């Protein structure tokens, strides 16, 4: 049986095909969001099926998750991204107790109990200072690409202190630091620490390990290390960190 999980995020749309017989991912894809999310999801699903010589009726169940989950007409049902993240992360790291998910527009901290059930979660979707959007702003201001920020941070000798709580004011602060002669590498290191600090604050004083890092920001070199330093505990980046919620949705499609 083939099941599909579709994660309709704020910045990207992810699709995962799961083979329940072989218990493995058949295919996955990530694409930037468009105007018609339902049409985009259908195109991505059809393309994955074509690439792997699968008929459309081979997909027996589809679960959608993410902000736009209710827009996906092909889905049999919609499930929250909190539940789907839990399923996707626990598939990769069964012993996970804390999930940190940082995407382009929001960040989440999810606590799990010893059996993997969700205890509680905290979400920040009102301020870009703790999300990937902050890194995009910094990359643009420094005239580089977001995937090059990690190399800059790696050569920092003294991370800048970024005190602004709003990404708009933080950008102004960065402009001032550049004008004062601050090295770009130190600014990037400071921004990564700032993002990690804001996310850690969502969890309060106690963060139970193992900690698993998901989302597009987990792919940015240096972010996992910055998060581990602030949390004072090792951080594991989930395999295919952008698609863990879509994987969880596919697993739930099989389960139900």
Q: What is the pLDDT of residues 90-126, one digit of tens each?
A: 999 999 999 999 988 889 999 999 999 999 999 885 6
The pLDDT value given to residue 251:
98
Q: How confident is the model at residue 164 (pLDDT cuts 50, 70, 90)?
A: low
Q: 12, 218, 219: which is closest to 108 by C-alpha?
A: 218
The pLDDT value given to residue 125:
59
Mean pLDDT of 6-27: 94
Domain 96-237 has CATH 3.30.420.40: yes
The pLDDT value given to residue 72:
97
Domain 2-88+243-255 has CATH 3.30.70.260: no
Q: 240, 211, 76, 219: which is closest to 202 by C-alpha?
A: 211
Q: What is the pLDDT of residues 187-214, one digit of tens each?
A: 999 989 988 988 888 887 678 999 999 9
The pLDDT value given to residue 54:
92
Looking at the chain, the domain(s) classified CATH 3.30.420.40 span 2-88+243-255, 96-237
Q: Which of 11-25, 129-143, 195-209 has the highest mean pLDDT?
A: 11-25
| Contact between residue 79 and residue 252 where contact means Cβ atoms under 8 Å apart | yes
Asked whether residue 18 carries a pLDDT value surpassing 90, the answer given is yes
Q: 240, 256, 222: which is closest to 7 by C-alpha?
A: 240
Torsion 196-198-202-204 (CA) sign = positive
Q: What is the pTM of this model?
A: 0.90
State the distance between the two ends of the chain, measured CA to CA, in whole angstroms: 13
The pLDDT value given to residue 129:
59
């Amino acid at each position: 049986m083939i099941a599909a999980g579709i994660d309709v995020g704020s910045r990207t749309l992810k699709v995962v095909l799961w083979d329940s017989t072989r218990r493995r991912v058949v295919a996955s894809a990530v694409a930037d969001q468009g105007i018609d999310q339902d049409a985009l999801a259908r195109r991505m699903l059809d393309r994955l099926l074509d690439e792997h010589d699968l008929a459309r009726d081979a997909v027996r169940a589809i679960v959608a998750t993410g902000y736009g989950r209710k827009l996906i007409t092909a889905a049999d049902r919609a499930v929250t991204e909190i539940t789907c993240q839990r399923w996707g992360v626990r598939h990769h790291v069964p012993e996970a107790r804390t999930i940190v998910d940082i995407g382009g527009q929001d960040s989440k901290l999810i606590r799990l109990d010893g059996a993997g059930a969700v205890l509680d979660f905290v979400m920040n979707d009102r301020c870009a200072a703790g999300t990937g959007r902050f890194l995009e702003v910094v990359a643009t201001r420094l005239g580089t690409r977001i995937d090059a920020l990690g190399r800059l941070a790696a050569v920092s000798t003294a991370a800048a202190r970024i005190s602004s709580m709003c990404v708009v004011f933080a950008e102004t602060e960065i402009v001032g630091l550049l004008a004062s002669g601050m090295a770009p590498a130190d600014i990037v290191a400071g921004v990564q620490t700032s993002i990690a600090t804001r996310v850690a604050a969502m969890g309060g004083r106690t963060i139970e390990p193992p900690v698993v890092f998901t989302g597009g920001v987990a792919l940015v070199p240096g972010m996992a290390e910055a998060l581990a330093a602030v949390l004072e505990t090792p951080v594991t980046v989930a395999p295919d960190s952008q698609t863990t919620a879509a994987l969880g949705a596919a697993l739930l499609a099989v389960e139900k």
